[in-house]
């Protein structure tokens, strides 16, 4: 399907607004799941590690299934996928209100809601990129803040709903609010050119012409047979007298009407279909081999290999605070009178500020986006090491704000990926990196929870988280040093469109 030139405005701004609210409605509850996490701990009495799987699955399963989400959006379009995913998110949240145990929540909240969020994220990003070209960065930045604003509002909203209606009532109301995604999805009008061919015609055009010749011949034969049979039935109805001799004569005429060459044509058609299937299978197999060859080439790039390790370790260590910070405050015996704003809300609003600020910094030519990303990793590791020393609401709020701001480095991650592998390989590389990011999101909170179950305190858990993030940052920094380029140029040539670390660049 071909699309006309992006208008960079017009209905595109409607797309930005509805995509913003779509991410706001679908990601609000999963990102603010830390409020629900406390209630699930009290309701089911399971360990912190086992309970943390619910929130980690909801946030990680969408990234893990990003290739499947991309295929769905490419096959069916953004609007149908958004509407269908709205039912998934709303249904999963409502089903979670009837959960009899923690294992039911793994399915209803973790998988169903998480997969719905992944589909909606892919749909909103895809439709926005179709409508914007020159202002694409601004449009993507605006819609990405929807999830951060959702985290800020839903953290306080779910807390109030739990106080008023209980955990079950809260999930039912939040699920009902998610049904507004259907209205947002219905406004995602596809941007198609007027002269574009239908998907059916496009697929048919790929079939060899000889196949249609044989199909037409076959159709002609079938029509001749049907015409002769119809005439025979009409003649029998007119005479009203069965005549077996006429039957034999008619059958002979039908057989004679079929040209002897049609048998050869049928054989040729079978051979042609067989060759077509073989060529198609060979072509698909070649594409599969090319995919893995390109993957091997990507991992030969030292910076890309370090980047995949860094994003995995960053999500293992950097994601748990957004889920567990509320429980950290409760474990520190902070008075409820001093508890003015939920810590998760602070993380959410500062994440939005961080996305916009870091995105603006990345646009300056004198800023090296890779080193900027490394700096955010190192600062995140230091902030995680400081959490065990926080014993008041003020210090926890300050650390939550710092961590939220640094988590906004998601906005510059595509910049770094592009400059590392080149724009031609961005889709392939970004899909791989997002898979490992989802793996880190899924593993991080349970690991921290298990540390608490073993030690009955969060200190060791956050030391581990800080160590993971710092390790990823230092590995990426070492791989990005200019000396590596000099060593690599002496031994072999770098892949095209790789990052130039001697000169600061922007995305």
User: What confidence tens digit (pLDDT) does each residue in 322-360 have?
Assistant: 777 877 887 777 776 666 777 888 888 888 888 888 877
Give the contacts of 372 (CB within 8 A, at least 6 positions apart): 358, 361, 362, 409, 412
pLDDT at 356: 81
Whether the model clears a pTM of 0.85, i.e. scores above it, the answer is no
Q: Answer whether residue 387 shows pLDDT above 80.
A: yes
Which whole number is the average pLDDT over 157-172?
92
| Cβ atoms of residues 51 and 419 within 8 Å | no
**Rounded distance, CA 385 to CA 461, Å?**
10
Q: Answer whether residue 367 shows pLDDT above 60.
A: yes
User: What confidence tens digit (pLDDT) does each residue in 410-469 have?
Assistant: 777 777 877 787 766 766 777 778 788 888 888 888 888 888 888 888 888 889 989 999
Q: Answer whether residue 229 shows pLDDT above 60.
A: no
**Rounded distance, CA 194 to CA 330, Å?**
59
Domain ranges of the chain: 1-191, 301-483
Domains 1-191 and 301-483 share a fold: yes
Q: Answer whether residue 178 shows pLDDT above 90.
A: yes
pLDDT at 259: 53
**Rounded distance, CA 277 to CA 275, Å?**
5
**Dihedrals phi, psi of 390, to nearest 5 degrees:** -85, 125
Q: Provide the 10 A C-beta neighbour count for residue 236.
A: 15
Question: Between residues 500 and 97, which one has the greater pLDDT?
Answer: 97
Q: What is the CATH number of domain 301-483?
A: 1.20.1250.20
- Say how many residues make up the chain: 507
List b or e across 342-370, with b for residues whose CB sees 16 or more CB atoms inside 10 angstroms.
bbbbbbbbbbbebbbebbeebeeeebbbb
Q: Which CATH class is domain 1-191?
A: mainly alpha
pLDDT at 458: 81
């Amino acid at each position: 399907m071909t699309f006309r030139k992006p208008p960079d405005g017009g209905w595109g701004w409607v797309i930005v607004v509805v995509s913003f609210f779509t991410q706001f409605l679908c990601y609000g509850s999963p990102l603010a799941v830390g409020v629900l996490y406390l209630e699930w701990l009290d309701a089911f009495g399971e360990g912190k590690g086992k309970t943390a799987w619910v929130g980690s699955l909801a946030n990680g399963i969408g990234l893990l299934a990003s290739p499947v989400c991309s295929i769905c959006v490419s096959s069916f379009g953004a609007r149908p996928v958004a509407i269908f995913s709205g039912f998934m998110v709303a249904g999963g949240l409502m089903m979670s209100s009837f959960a009899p145990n923690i294992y039911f929540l793994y399915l209803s909240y973790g998988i169903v809601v998480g997969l719905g969020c992944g589909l909606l994220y892919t749909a909103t990003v895809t439709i926005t990129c179709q409508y914007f070209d020159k202002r694409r960065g601004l449009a993507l930045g605006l819609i990405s803040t929807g999830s951060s604003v959702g985290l800020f509002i839903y953290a306080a909203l779910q807390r109030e709903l739990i106080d008023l209606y209980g955990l079950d009532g809260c999930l039912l109301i939040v699920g009902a609010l998610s049904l507004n995604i259907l209205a947002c999805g219905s406004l995602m009008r596809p941007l198609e050119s007027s002269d574009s061919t239908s998907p059916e015609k496009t697929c048919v055009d790929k079939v060899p012409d000889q196949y249609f010749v044989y199909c037409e011949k076959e159709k002609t034969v079938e029509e001749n047979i049907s015409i002769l049979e119809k005439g025979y039935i009409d003649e029998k109805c007119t005479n009203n007298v069965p005549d077996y001799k006429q039957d034999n004569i008619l059958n002979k005429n039908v057989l004679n009407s079929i040209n002897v060459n049609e048998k050869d044509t049928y054989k040729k058609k079978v051979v042609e279909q067989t060759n077509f299937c073989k060529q198609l299978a060979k072509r698909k197999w070649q594409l599969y081999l090319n995919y893995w060859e390109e993957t091997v080439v990507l991992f030969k790039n030292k910076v890309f290999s370090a980047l995949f390790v860094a994003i995995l370790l960053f999500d293992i260590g950097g994601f748990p605070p957004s889920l567990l910070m509320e429980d950290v405050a409760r474990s520190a015996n902070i008075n409820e009178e001093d508890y003015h704003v939920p810590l998760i809300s602070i993380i959410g609003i500062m994440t939005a500020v961080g996305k916009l600020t870091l995105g603006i910094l990345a646009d300056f030519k004198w800023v090296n986006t890779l080193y900027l990303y490394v700096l955010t990793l190192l600062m995140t590791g230091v902030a995680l090491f400081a959490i065990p020393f926080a014993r008041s609401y003020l210090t926890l709020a300050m650390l939550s704000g710092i961590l939220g701001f640094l988590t906004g480095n998601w906005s510059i991650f595509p910049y770094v990926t592009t400059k590392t592998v080149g724009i031609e390989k961005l889709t392939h590389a970004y899909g791989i990196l997002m898979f490992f990011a989802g793996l880190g999101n899924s593993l991080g909170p349970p690991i921290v929870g298990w540390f608490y179950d073993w030690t009955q305190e969060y200190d060791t858990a956050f030391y581990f988280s800080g160590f993971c993030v710092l390790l990823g940052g230092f590995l990426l920094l070492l791989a990005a040093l200019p000396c590596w380029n000099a060593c690599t140029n002496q031994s072999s040539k770098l892949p095209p469109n790789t990052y130039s670390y001697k000169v600061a660049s922007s995305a």
